[in-house]
């Protein structure tokens, strides 16, 4: 989500695809392990690069992880998001 007037960006990342440090983020398909290792490494590198470039341009960046949108975690995530957008 992009908030140009505030120069803020919120990424909502899937734990599996972006390799979050949670149980979902540690799952790896059993087939073609080399392919998946390379794919995940590229995703992580791209995410870091994008965040770094946005910050260099003066944007504030927040990442919300898939697991943080689950019912038990949602109130905290909403509060954090409101503070970020402040």
pLDDT (tens digit, 9 = 90+) per residue, 22-32? 998 999 999 99
pLDDT digits (tens, 9 = 90+) for 60-77: 999 999 999 999 999 999
Q: What is the structure's pLDDT at 32? A: 96
| Euclidean distance between CA atoms 5 and 15, whole angstroms | 29
Task: Tell me what the mean pLDDT of segment 1-16 comes to.
Answer: 98
Query: What confidence category does residue 18 fall into, taking pLDDT thresholds of 50, 70 and 90?
Result: very high
Alpha carbon 85 to its chain centroid, in Å, reads 17
- Please provide the CATH number assigned to the domain covering 2-85: 3.40.960.10
| Euclidean distance between CA atoms 4 and 65, whole angstroms | 22
Task: Tell me what the mean pLDDT of segment 73-85 comes to.
Answer: 97
Inter-residue contact 58 to 7 (CB < 8 Å): yes
pLDDT digits (tens, 9 = 90+) for 32-67: 999 999 999 999 999 999 999 999 999 999 999 999
Q: Quickly tell me which residue has 């599996």 as its tokens.
A: 16
Q: What is the structure's pLDDT at 36? A: 96
Domain boundaries along the sequence of the chain = 2-85
pTM above 0.85, yes or no: yes
Pairing of the two strands 60-65 and 8-13: parallel
């Amino acid at each position: 989500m992009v908030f140009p007037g505030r120069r803020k960006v919120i990424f909502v990342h899937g734990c599996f695809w972006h390799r979050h440090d949670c149980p979902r983020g540690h799952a790896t398909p059993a087939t073609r392990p080399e392919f998946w290792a390379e794919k995940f490494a590229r995703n992580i590198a791209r995410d870091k690069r994008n965040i770094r470039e946005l910050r260099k341009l003066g944007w504030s960046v927040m990442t919300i992880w898939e697991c943080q949108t689950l019912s038990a975690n949602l109130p905290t995530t909403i509060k954090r998001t409101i503070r970020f957008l402040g």
